[in-house]
Amino acid sequence: MFLIRDALAATQLNPDIHVVNDGEEATRFFDRLDQDRSSPCPALIILDINLPKKQGGDVLMHMRNSLRCPNALILVVTTSDSPHDRQQMKQLGANGYFRKPSEYSAFLKLGDLVKELLAPEQGRARM
C-alpha cells in the first residue's frame, strides 16, 4: 500500500483511499455500498489478483455484479505477467492491468495509469 500511495502522490492526485485487507472484506465493502444509497461509488478500485481469503478474479466478478457500482473503474495490480491472467481479468471486466515491477521508479508509473483512467475521457487503459 505504501508504494501505491507514493505512486498516487507523484501524480499530485489526492484521492480518498479506503483499504481492505482481503477478498472477503472487499466483497463485503461492495455489499454495503449496494445497501447504502447515500454512500458514493468508488471512482477507481485498485485490485490485486492474489488476495487472502478470496482471489481477485472472484472479487472482480462480485464487483461487476454490484447493484449500484457495476461500472466502477477497476485496475488490476499484480506480480503476474501471465497472458492468461491478463486475458482473464480483461474478460471479467478490468479496465486496466499493471504488473508490479521490482524497481521503485518503475512502480511510480502506476500513478500515471491511474491518472489516465480517471481522465474525463477515461483514456482507455492498457491491458
Per-residue pLDDT band for 127 (boundaries 50, 70, 90) equals low
Banded pLDDT at 83 (limits 50, 70, 90) = very high
109-to-18, 105, 120 alpha-carbon distances in Å: 21, 7, 19
- Give all domains of the chain, ordered by start, each with its CATH number: 2-118 (3.40.50.2300)
Q: What is the pLDDT of residues 6-62, one digit of tens each?
A: 777 777 777 777 888 899 999 999 999 999 989 888 988 999 998 999 998 999 999
What average pLDDT does the structure give for the chain? 86
